[in-house]
Amino acid sequence: RHGFVGELTFFPHGKDQHEACSRGVIDATFSCEVPALVHLDRLPGLTLTASPGELGDIALVVPADSDIHGVADLRGRSIAVLGGASSELLLDQWLADAGLARGRDVVGEMHGGIGETAVAAVTSGAADAAVLWDPWLTRAQQQHGLRVVHAAPFWSVVALYDGRIEDETQYH
C-alpha cells in the first residue's frame, strides 16, 4: 500500500542483528526490549520509533502438582532457563526480590534460545521449574499444563538506523 517492500531476515541472536545493523545491511528492525537496550548503547544511529506492544509473557513455570507456589520456594531447587537477556534479567530480579540468587540459592541451567529443551527439563523432572517466554511459554502451558508462578510482559520495539528510512510512518 505504501510502496514499501520488506524482506524478512531472521537473526538467531541479538549480536547477529546488531552486527548487520552496524554494517548498514539493515535499515529498520523489529526486536525485543533487552537487545534493543544493547543496540541503543552500541549503535549511535539507532532510534526507537515504536513499540507494537507485548509479544506475550516471560514466566516462571512449574508442573501443576508442584509444591512451588512462589519464588521463595525455589531455594535449593533447579531452574531451566530459556536463554535470552530478558529472561535472565527478570529471573535474577525475581530471585533478588525473594532474597535469593542464582548459583548461591538455586541452580540455573541455561538452555540457549531453544525452548523445547527447557520445557523438556521441567516436564521430565530434570528441573524443578523453568523460565520460558512466548511462544514456548503458551505452548508449554497448553500442551503440558504448566502452572505460572510469576510472570512479566515481554515487549517488542521497532528501531530505525541512521535515517535510512525517510518516512517511518510508511514502515510502521
pLDDT in tens, 56-77: 889 999 999 999 999 999 999 9
3 in the Ramachandran plot: left (φ > 0), alpha (ψ -120 to 50) or beta?
Answer: left
Q: What is the pLDDT of residues 141-166, one digit of tens each?
A: 999 999 999 999 887 777 777 666 66
Residue 4 predicted with pLDDT over 60 = yes
Grid cell listed for 53: 506492544
CA distances from 74 to 85, 90, 110, 119 (A): 21, 15, 16, 17
Q: What is the pLDDT of residues 65-114, one digit of tens each?
A: 999 999 999 999 999 999 877 888 899 999 999 999 999 999 999 987 77
Q: Distance (Å, rounded) from C-alpha 18 to C-alpha 107? A: 30
Residue carrying the nine cell digits 535470552? 84
Q: Are strands 129-133 and 107-110 parallel, antiparallel or unpaired?
A: unpaired
- The H or E element that residue 113 is part of is none
Q: Is the Cβ–Cβ distance between 123 and 63 less than 8 Å?
A: yes
Cβ count within 10 A of residue 28: 18
**Report for 38-42, 160-164, 168-172: range of highest mean pLDDT:** 38-42
